[in-house]
């Protein structure tokens, strides 16, 4: 097939076949989509050439997914799960960074590479976990809401980590300290402005706008997508992330009477667009950097698969939750995120680490995503 349209048609046919095979094996279809992306990518068949178009659809899919997550999380839920989500998220982050850093140092890696990879190991995939919870219809369960809560804590940590590492591009010493202080002040100011703006919109503007848009179901759908992608773009422009902006957009509509109607109409669009995210993720994996990192990747994969769930279970048990709830929440952090790979790739662009760190992180991502979703 020739042209972008033909390429998309072929990819959709391959995805349908891979998904059907995955269902026959009783495995999550997202693993089949990632594997199909690897096969269609430059590592195997080299079918994927429309990278920009696929990446655009993938970004819109991620924005719609996080918008739907925010749409389900109203203020009543936040009051209930906020403390446990914050404690679990921060506890898991601290545990993984400290123990992972020492473990990587023991493997003979440099301290900068050890720090980057240890931080990367803390990030669980919000996109994959939310998709799995949605497929199992567990997104509204207690463990589903708690998991989404501490995944949001992780997403905020991703943004802060990237901003801090980018600030370290310059010279050290007093200049570096001043840049970090300026960064902290800027971040605090932007959070304050965003919080105030969101409050005013939710209180005085959005209820009236949504009532007007809801006079037409088609218009309500268009408005929801426009609002989600618009705030996603604004979030990125403000120095946060598209994911954070899309989540806030959904959260801002969570208290309206139309959230169930919006969610029902967005489900099919979300699943279709996320297909391109998983294809894009598989197609972009660089296997040339995986060479001598197999054994370190196995050790770190076991650490993520076992250590992260255990620390979540321990924290939730201490806070009085049942073992089953802690166990189900712990399973959601038994893999690393696509942002882990992006974070280490940023370190390469800043000159902090080399391609070996990226290869190690990529391999850990492949192993943990595959095993934690089966």
Reduce the secondary structure of 210-275 to three states and give it as a string: HHHHCCCHHHHHHHHHHHHHHHHHHHHHCCCCHHHHHHHHHHHCCCCCCHHHHHHHHHHHHHHHHH
**28 alpha carbon, distance to own chain's centre:** 18
pLDDT of residue 354: 78
pLDDT in tens, 331-361: 878 888 767 877 787 777 777 887 778 778 8
Report the share of the chain in percent with pLDDT over 90: 5
Instruction: Name every residue whose Cβ is closer than 8 Å to that of residue 203 and which is 6 or more positions away in sequence.
Output: none
Pinpoint the alpha helices (H) of 45-167: 51-71, 75-106, 111-121, 126-135, 142-167
Token representation of residue 54? 């696929």
Across the range 278-295, mean pLDDT stands at 72
Could you report the per-residue pLDDT of 86-99, keeping only the tens digit for each?
Answer: 888 888 888 889 99
Least confident interval from 166-170, 208-212, 257-261, 336-340: 166-170
Output DSSP code: residue 289: G
**Per-residue model confidence as pLDDT tens digits over 207-219:** 888 888 888 888 9
Please tell me the distance from the alpha carbon of residue 166 to that of residue 347, in angstroms, as a whole number: 8
Averaged pLDDT for residues 225-229 = 91
In this prediction, residues 163-173 reach a mean pLDDT of 55
Q: State yes or no: pLDDT of 300 exceeds 80.
A: yes
* 172 has pLDDT over 60: no
pLDDT at 170 over 60: no
How many helices and strands in the chain, by DSSP H and E?
17, 0
- Of all residues in the chain, the percent with pLDDT exceeding 70 is 84
- Confidence grade of residue 173 (pLDDT, cut at 50, 70, 90): very low
C-alpha 76/C-alpha 228 separation (Å) is: 22
Residue 73 clears pLDDT 70, i.e. is over it: no
| Residue 302: predicted pLDDT | 92
Checking if the pLDDT of 51 tops 60, the result is yes
pTM value is 0.69
């Amino acid at each position: 097939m020739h042209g972008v349209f033909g390429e998309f048609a072929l990819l959709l046919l391959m995805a349908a076949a891979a998904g059907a095979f995955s269902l026959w094996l009783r495995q999550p279809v997202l693993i089949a989509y990632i594997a199909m992306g690897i096969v269609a990518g430059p590592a195997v068949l080299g079918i994927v050439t429309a990278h920009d178009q696929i990446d655009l659809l993938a970004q819109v899919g991620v924005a719609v997914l996080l918008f739907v997550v925010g749409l389900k999380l109203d203020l009543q839920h936040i009051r209930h799960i906020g403390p446990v989500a914050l404690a679990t998220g921060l506890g898991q982050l601290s545990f993984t960074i400290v123990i992972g850093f020492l473990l990587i140092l023991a493997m003979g890696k440099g301290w900068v590479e050890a720090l980057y990879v240890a931080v990367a190991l803390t990030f669980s995939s919000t996109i994959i976990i939310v998709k799995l919870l949605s497929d199992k219809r567990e997104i509204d369960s207690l463990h589903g809401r708690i998991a989404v809560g501490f995944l949001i804590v992780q997403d905020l940590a991703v943004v802060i980590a990237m901003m801090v590492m980018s600030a370290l591009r310059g010279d050290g010493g007093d200049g570096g300290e001043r840049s970090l202080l300026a960064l902290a002040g800027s971040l605090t100011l932007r959070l304050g402005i965003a919080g105030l703006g969101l409050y005013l919109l939710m209180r005085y503007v959005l209820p009236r706008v949504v009532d007007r848009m809801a006079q037409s179901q088609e218009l309500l759908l268009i408005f929801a997508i426009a609002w989600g992608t618009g705030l996603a773009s604004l979030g990125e422009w403000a120095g946060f992330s598209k994911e954070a902006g899309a989540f806030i957009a959904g959260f801002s509509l969570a208290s309206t009477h139309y959230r169930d109607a919006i969610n029902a109409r967005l489900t099919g669009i979300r699943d279709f667009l996320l297909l391109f995210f998983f294809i894009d993720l598989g197609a972009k994996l660089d296997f040339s950097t995986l060479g001598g990192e197999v054994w370190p990747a196995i050790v770190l994969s076991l650490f993520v698969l076992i250590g992260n769930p255990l620390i979540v279970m321990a924290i939730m048990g201490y806070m009085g939750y049942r073992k089953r709830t802690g166990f189900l929440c712990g399973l959601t952090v038994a893999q690393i995120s696509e942002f882990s790979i992006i974070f280490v790739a940023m370190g390469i662009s800043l000159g902090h680490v080399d391609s070996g760190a990226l290869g190690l992180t990529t391999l850990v991502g492949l192993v943990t995503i595959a095993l934690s979703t089966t």
